[in-house]
Amino acid sequence: MRIGELSKATDVPVPTIKYYLREGLLPPGELSSPNQASYGDTHIRRLRLIRALIELAQVPVATVKEILESLDSDTEPLHEQIGRAHRALTPTRRLSATDEARTAAAARVADLIHDRGWLVDPEAPALATLIDTIAALSSLGQDSLVAHLDTYADSVEAFTALEIEAVTANPTRDQLAESVVIGTILGETVISSLRLLAQESISAERWKDR
């Protein structure tokens, strides 16, 4: 199909498609004449993935490009691909807190990981984020939330097991890689939206008039 039809099929404007082509997010179409490229189902699928990552998960364009290059690589180990998707979800900036709160938070998190037998790279960005966030909650007088860390972890373990089960339903390595990347990133958006809706509902019941 031509670029105009690709635009119609995916509801993505032609100039946006051209931008993704220039940035190398979308592979070029097949040249049917010197000035005419033809696009196929793989382009439709890839465009949907790009839009979901950028619009819903708010992943920056440069990171989307990295993720797609990693997906298209036949050699990068799956575990590395997952790490790349994780980095797309993790803030790179960090609080420079070096105080007691951070030391206590680091010890708390080390205990949690040990007790659960999790295999976690000590350099994982999510580890630093978790420690900093717990330190911030303590500094802000929200220790009651920190006290429930294990209950949070229980819930998270429950749905992570389920996510892994769901994505491993796909048999080939390529499909598995794509499922894991999509599941990691869009699964986050599903959980986050559900949480906000559940909170809104409880808030409406309790505090509508306060």
Region 101-140 residues binding its own copies, contact defined as CB under 8 A: 113, 118-121, 124, 126-127, 129-130, 132-134, 136-137, 139-140
Torsion-angle region of 76 (φ positive above 0: left; ψ -120 to 50: alpha; else: beta): beta
**Is residue 97 exposed (0-12), middle (13-18) or buried (19+ Cβ within 10 Å)?**
middle
29 in contact with its own copies (CB under 8 A) = no
Select the residue interacting with its own copies from 51, 65, 84, 108 (CB under 8 A): 51
Select the residue interacting with its own copies from 78, 100, 103, 115 (CB under 8 A): 78
**Burial state string for 149-166 with b = 16 or more CB within 10 A and e = fewer than 16:** beeebeeeeeeeeebeee
**β-sheet bridge partners, residue 62:** none
| Residue 35: CB minimum distance to its own copies, A | 29
| Residue 43: CB minimum distance to its own copies, A | 14
Select the residue interacting with its own copies from 63, 83, 108, 110 (CB under 8 A): 83
State the CB neighbour count (10 A cutoff) for residue 203: 11
75 in contact with its own copies (CB under 8 A) = no
Looking only at residues 191 through 210 of this chain, which bind its own copies when binding is defined by CB under 8 A?
191-210
d(CA 121, CA 127) in angstroms, rounded, equals 8
Q: For its own copies, which is the closer residue by CB, 9 or 21? A: 9
184 in contact with its own copies (CB under 8 A) = yes
> Which residues lie below 8 Å from residue 65, measured CB to CB, with a gap of 6+?
23, 24, 25
| Residue 6: CB minimum distance to its own copies, A | 15
161 in contact with its own copies (CB under 8 A) = yes
Q: For its own copies, which is the closer residue by CB, 111 or 200? A: 200
At position 75, the amino acid (one-letter code) is T
- Which letter does DSSP use for residue 183 in this model? H
169 in contact with its own copies (CB under 8 A) = yes
Residues touching its own copies: how many (CB under 8 A)?
Answer: 98
d(CA 86, CA 130) in angstroms, rounded, equals 14
97 in contact with its own copies (CB under 8 A) = yes
Q: For its own copies, which is the closer residue by CB, 37 or 139? A: 139
Both tokens of residue 59? 């992943």
43 in contact with its own copies (CB under 8 A) = no
